[in-house]
Every structure is written in C-alpha cells, then in structure tokens.
C-alpha cells in the first residue's frame, strides 16, 4: 500500500497527541507522523525527513498560519 507522504513533502498539520518519547504526533490519511519539538494542539508546517514502513518523521518548519 503506498504511503500518503514522501521525503520532502511539506504539510500543514495539527498535533493530535504526544508520543512516549515526547515527539508530537500528527496524521495524514491515518498514517502517523512524528514531529519533534511540538505539543498537543500545535498547528505547524512540517517537512517529511524520513518515511518508515509504519510511520514518518518530520521537522517543524514554522507555526502554521491561522
């Protein structure tokens, strides 16, 4: 099944939860994206830096425009 994101994609997301290690969790079509340095409720622009079989890792680019 193809992943809904690929390395280099930029997305506006809302952080829905925080993982055990403290990274924020966002989702795209149900696919989990970990975003370090974020908290629940943050709306941020992210860039995907790695895609794994069951999740992706992203970096925060900026706070998303309201």
CB atoms within 10 A of CB 5: 19
Tens-place pLDDT, residues 40-66 = 999 999 999 999 999 999 999 987 655
pLDDT given for residue 62 in this prediction: 85
From start to end of the chain, where are the E strands?
10-14, 17-18, 24-28, 31-35, 43-51, 55-63
Distance CA 12, CA 20 (A): 23
Domain residues of the chain, as ranges? Answer: 10-63
In the prediction, which pLDDT does 57 show? 98
Please tell me whether the overall predicted TM-score, pTM, comes out greater than 0.85 for this model. yes
CATH number, span 10-63: 2.40.50.140
Q: What is the pLDDT of residues 20-39, one digit of tens each?
A: 999 999 999 999 999 999 99
């Amino acid at each position: 099944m193809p992943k809904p994101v690929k390395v280099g994609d930029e997305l506006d997301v809302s952080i829905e939860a925080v993982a055990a290690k403290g990274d924020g969790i966002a989702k795209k079509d149900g696919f989990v994206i970990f975003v370090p340095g974020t908290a629940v409720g943050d709306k941020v622009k992210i860039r995907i830096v790695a895609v794994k079989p069951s999740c992706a890792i992203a970096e925060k680019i900026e706070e998303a425009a309201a």
